[in-house]
A and B are shown apart, each in its own frame.
Chain A
Amino acid sequence: MKFVKGNIRDLIAFLRLVPQRRKRIKAASASPTPSGPVNRLAHQLHPTSMNLVIREMLDETPTTRTFRLVADPESETNDLALFRAGQYLSVKCRIGDVLVSRPYSLSSSPLDALKRGFYEITMRKKEGGFFTDHVWNSWKTGTRIETSGPAGYFYIDPVRDSKDIVALAGGCGITPFRSMLRDITQNGIKIRFTLLYGIPKPDEIIFEEELAEMEQSAGGRIRVHYICSEPDQQWTGPTGFLSANTISRLAGEIVNKTFFICGPQEMYRYLESELASLSIPRRRLRWEACGEAADVTAYEGFPQEMANRSFDVTVQMGGAVHRLKAQSTESLMVSLERAGLAPPSQCRSGDCGICRSRLSSGEVFVIPDSDGRRAADRIYGYIHLCSTYPLSDVELIVPRSD
């Protein structure tokens, strides 16, 4: 090939590139570019924060309460973001001088948000719980709260998961499953769903009536079993914990089922060995993030001699440098929050990486089960504050919160 369209024509074409560019620019619109449909949808699906109002409160049991939340247009939240049944909201609160957040599974369904305009979250009051004490004391109908957008990976994925689901719930861990069951019922989703719901005492069952209704209307596709560990004399159902035996007896064949597990940390520790004996492939086990460790000293690898030590933490955050005290048995996240700093936080289980921070110096313990860090971050000295505990004085660089 010597030329494309002719020796001279090719050179002229080359010389005309810039003039042609100028001509095109001159002919184009001089108005701002309209924003695209993709950004709009992205924003609807994933708002960085939402302002909500408590519309109603309902006591489910003596210790659990459901809060119905609606959008707060006065604070610029007009719509509720859609979510997938099983996801959570990170609820942000100022308690005294301290800004904290806690993740709570949405117990309502996606359709409730989309068509009826509400979310529900259901909380259990912890004895002496810093956060729930505040909620029980100060949240009322009309209270305004701030949350993250819906987040989390604990949902049924039709491409990945079986059409035969077994849900293992413990106590307040029922909440994401109530969302899934409402979703299945409201949309007539064609899957089988067996719920094994472990409760300590018979009066601690949450959503009992509604679960019964959903079971009855599903023509056998939804089954609900309660397993009580401290039954009274009227209790006629299965008793004890969610043992391998109980699971196989109530859920039937294990093969080709996907198990979803949500409950307190003690239940996770118990279930790990029980489920191992059932030889369920790892891809068939979906564990909800378990929240912050209740007792870090219980984890293998935590140096026991370091329990209850106090260390100095130097934090560079938002342009300022702060110095504070931290306990070895409290996550750095909690220590920073106690000191009145508000680091970014969402899952509080080591998973989401929102609190990714740089450890400039010092020794720490990272809970192995909750170490959701990227490979390079481990090497370059980054930590997730919510799953990391100081074992010496430490220096941190923490990004500002959103």
Chain B
Amino acid sequence: MKEIVSDSTIQKSYEAVVVGAGCGGLAAAAQLAAKGVQVLLLEQHNLPGGFGSSFVRGRFEFETALHMLVDYGPSYRMGSVRKFFENDIALDIELVEVPDAYRIIIADDGIDAVIPLGVEQFISAIEDAVPGSRPSMTSYIELCKEVMDALEYIGESKGRPDQKVLRAKYPRFLKTTAYSVEEVTRKFNIPDKALKLLYSYWMVVGPPPSRLNFTTFAAFMFRYMTHGSFIPRMRSHEMMTALDERIRELGGDIEYNSRVEKILVQNGEVIGIETAKGDRIETKHVICNASPTITYNNLVYPKEEVPQRAYQTINAREHGLTMFVVYLGLDASAEELGLDTYGYMITPFLEPDRLYENFYRLGSPTVQATVCMNAALPECSPPGTSIVFLASLMRPEAWASVRPGNYFALKNKMAKAMIEQFENKTGIKLSDHIEEIEIATPQTFARYTGTHNGVIYGYEPESWDWTMPRLASIQNEYYIRGLHFSGGFSFLCAGYSNSLLSGKMAANFTIKEMEKER
């Protein structure tokens, strides 16, 4: 019936194996292949992308989550991701810039403002909404710029900055980096209402300002304001497929539906991997795009090879947030419906700690981010239709008492409440136009990626656990020789850009090690 031409497209041994084709894994495999390393990328799902994917319902193709690349930038102000794509791996893809504003509605405060990009525009918009806020906001944003400049300098110095230069040119970077957003921001006497508008960004990063590391927040906000954000034209799946294509062109191998079950370790060193399909592949270098939590608990084999310290490291950290997303394919155009903005943030109040508390509760989500894809990509759905999704952050613990028997009803109830909140606060009617609806819960994210507890935000970047202390502890926390991490749970903290860049970083660690071995 069939003849076997060859049985050896996967080799028995590779210089490096990448576990998981999420953003970080794809980037790592691409970087390794570009540097001539013989690499195999293994993925449990039948698609590349991890959280960055897409799915089709009827005549709509939905983006899986609120994906925006804030570190891509326009061609005249290239961000790190664009540099990586163009200079390191020569990826052939053109991304689209997201229109530069989002609308924020804080019901209890009567705030309904459009927040634009650009430093000057941002400060002016806040001044318009909260007269008198300009001076304090201006000096605050100056500080954010100093922080961003310092990080760029550290990046350029390849992680070995001259302490003297840091102290002389960016003194306030060092002085603020051990503190939370709240501890630093408090010093500026920003009017309360303006602070709320400023704080509308925290949810993109994770924990509330009382715990969120200031540098992480400042860098994100400033980069977003100055570089804008970019998305792939055909949802994230396009970029992931382009990366897959590029890895193969560069000589890398990729296998889907091939879950790595074991990372084989002997005497503290990686010696290979084993898949659920029974492949056993020798390698001394693994880049794992699964979180350290999943890796140490489930993948490293035998278990005795996991040092106590590794468990302590993951258990000390706070696993971040997950999401609840409602995807709508509407049978009316964005213009007909009055959806004139890409992003809407809607909340009854904006007290971060109180909002974060609410993430632990099921029921009607309090704060939601709503995106109309067509505002950035008019062609993303057929003429006369539009795509909207409504997302809310959650703590996984909220789902502890949910059983299969009440799961579907709960999903529908929460989705309905979010749609109603959007309609009530914007006056834009969606519910009469729903042609397709899909709902993703933390269970959905866990199902497709295997992430611990459905978490997509990585470990929370509190000051002791943001990128700098993570990087400064690399040697200390390097528990298994040859095993590096990429993805949202690795050094660079979570986020679309960071996950991609983490792959490049992990690949470079691996390459350096290989060079030493030679």
0 or 1 for each of B128-144: is its CB under 8 Å from A? (1 = yes): 00000000000100010
Is the beta-carbon distance between A42 and B277 smaller than 8 angstroms?
no
Taking the complex as formed, is B38 at the interface, i.e. its CB lies under 8 A from any CB of chain A? no
In the complex, what residues of A have CB within 8 A of residue B143's CB? 1
Q: Which of A29, A41, A379 contacts B311 (CB 8 A)?
A: A29
Residues 280-325 (chain A) with a chain B CB within 8 angstroms:
281-283, 314, 316, 318-324
A20 and B464 contact, CB distance less than 8 A = yes
- Taking Cβ atoms with an 8 Å cutoff, the residues of B that contact A are 1-10, 46-47, 54-57, 61, 139, 143, 172, 174-179, 183-184, 187-188, 232, 234-235, 237-238, 241-242, 245, 255-258, 277, 279, 293, 296-297, 308-309, 311-316, 322, 331, 396-397, 399-400, 402-405, 407-408, 412, 415-416, 419, 431, 433-437, 442-444, 446-447, 450, 452-454, 463-465, 468-469, 472-473, 476-477
The contact of B416 among A159, A282, A321, by CB within 8 Å, is A159
| Interface residue tally for chain A (C-beta within 8 Å) | 81
Determine if B435 and A282 form an interchain contact, defined as CB atoms under 8 angstroms apart. Answer: yes
Q: Are B174 and A10 in contact (CB under 8 A)?
A: yes
Beta-carbon contact of B405 and A82 below 8 Å: yes
Indicate which residue in B178, B235, B412, B453 contacts A157 across the interface (CB closer than 8 Å). B412
CB pair A160 B436 closer than 8 Å: yes
Question: B491 to nearest A CB, angstroms?
Answer: 13
Give me 10 A-to-B residue pairs in the complex whose CB atoms sit less than 8 angstroms apart, sorted by A's number: A14-B174, A21-B464, A29-B311, A82-B405, A159-B415, A159-B419, A282-B331, A375-B235, A379-B238, A399-B255
Residue-by-residue, is A363-399 near B (CB-CB < 8 Å gives 1, otherwise 0)? 0000000001111110110100000000000000001
A24 at the interface (CB under 8 A from B): yes
**Are the C-beta atoms of B183 and A37 separated by less than 8 Å?**
no
Q: Do most interface residues of chain B lie in helix, strand or loop, or is the interface mixed?
A: helix
Establish whether residues B234 and A319, one from each chain, have CB atoms under 8 Å apart when the complex forms: no
* Contact between B178 and A17, CB atoms less than 8 A apart: yes
With A31-B311, A33-B452, A82-B404 in contact, do A24 and B178 touch (Cβ < 8 Å)? no
CA distance A55 to B402 in the complex (A): 30
User: Given A45-B404, A46-B447, do A13 and B179 touch, yes or no (CB 8 Å)?
Assistant: yes
Q: Which of A62-70, A134-142, A227-235, A338-346 contacts B (4 or more CB under 8 A)?
A: A338-346
- Give the contacts of A332-356 with B (CB-CB under 8 A): 338-341, 344, 351, 353-354, 356
Report which of B139, B179, B314 forms a contact with A33, defined as CB distance below 8 A. Answer: B314
What B residues does A338 contact at CB under 8 A?
Answer: 1
Given A399-B257, A402-B257, 9 more A-B residue pairs with CB atoms under 8 Å apart are: A1-B139, A7-B175, A11-B175, A17-B178, A37-B453, A353-B55, A353-B56, A380-B245, A399-B46
Interface pair A30/B453, CB less than 8 Å apart: no
How many A-B residue pairs lie within 8 Å, measured between CB atoms? 248
- Ranked nearest first, the 10 interchain pairs of A and B with the lowest CB-CB distance are A36-B453, A283-B435, A13-B178, A28-B316, A376-B238, A10-B175, A319-B10, A30-B308, A42-B443, A82-B404
Chain A residue contacts of B403, Cβ below 8 A: 41
Say yes or no: A28 contacts B312, CB within 8 Å.
Answer: yes
Nearest B residue to A114, CB-CB: B405
Q: What residues on A are CB-neighbors of B279 within 8 Å?
A: 319
* Measured CA separation A13–B234 after assembly (Å): 45
- Residue A22, interface by CB 8 Å: yes
| A188 adjacent to chain B (CB < 8 Å) | no
